[in-house]
């Protein structure tokens, strides 16, 4: 390559599976575990969670050029999330290597608490714009009977791999026509 030629941009993955298989060796926790179940000094559970609870995860790959809108929506979501009744713990991470993949991992008292957050105004406002702002997105939740340790992002990736539907994601089959 000559001194004057710029590096070629890498191709954007063509499917959810390609995004999900991307290199996240640089996954950086940008918001460590916080919440009523977390010891602020250690970042670990204050005590084992013995009751049945729900673990939820999501990951999205943001499109460049939409940062101001995404930041505003995320600020509103986080303001709602951190005070949401039923939230026990939450952490967030980003991987620049994998197209700025943005991951969340949270623990909830029960499904009703998670549904309340998902149906909140800030979350719904972001959900309505997800196709505009993201290349793709996926999420999952599962019940845990007892937790002695906080789940990891590796646990979350494994769960998403387990539940990911075969074939194209709803984003991949989307033709961009919102007129229907």
pTM confidence score: 0.88
125-176 pLDDT per residue, tens: 999 999 999 999 999 999 999 889 999 999 999 999 999 987 767 665 433 3
> CA 67, CA 104: separation in Å to the nearest integer?
18
Model pLDDT, residue 42: 95
pLDDT band, very low/low/confident/very high, at 67 (cuts 50, 70, 90): confident
- Tell me which CATH code domain 51-163 carries: 3.30.70.100
30-57 pLDDT per residue, tens: 999 999 999 999 999 999 998 999 999 9
Q: What is the per-residue burial (b if ≥16 Cβ within 10 Å, else e) of 82-102? A: eebebbbbbbbbbbeebbbbb
């Amino acid at each position: 390559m000559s001194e004057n030629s710029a590096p070629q941009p890498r191709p954007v993955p063509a499917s959810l599976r390609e995004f999900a298989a991307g290199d996240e060796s640089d996954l950086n926790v940008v918001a460590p575990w916080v919440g009523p179940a977390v010891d602020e000094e250690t970042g670990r559970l204050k005590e084992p969670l013995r009751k049945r609870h729900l673990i939820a995860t999501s990951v999205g790959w943001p499109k460049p050029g939409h940062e101001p809108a995404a930041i505003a929506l995320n600020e509103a979501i986080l303001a709602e999330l951190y005070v949401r009744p039923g939230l026990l713990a939450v952490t967030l991470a980003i991987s620049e290597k994998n197209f700025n993949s943005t991951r969340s991992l949270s623990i909830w008292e029960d499904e009703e608490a998670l549904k309340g957050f998902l149906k909140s105004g800030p979350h719904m406002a972001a959900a309505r714009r997800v196709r505009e702002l993201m290349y793709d997105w996926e999420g999952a939740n599962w019940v845990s009977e007892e937790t002695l340790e906080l789940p990891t992002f590796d646990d979350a990736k494994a769960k998403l791999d387990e539940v990911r539907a075969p074939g194209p994601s709803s984003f991949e089959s989307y033709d961009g026509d919102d007129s229907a």
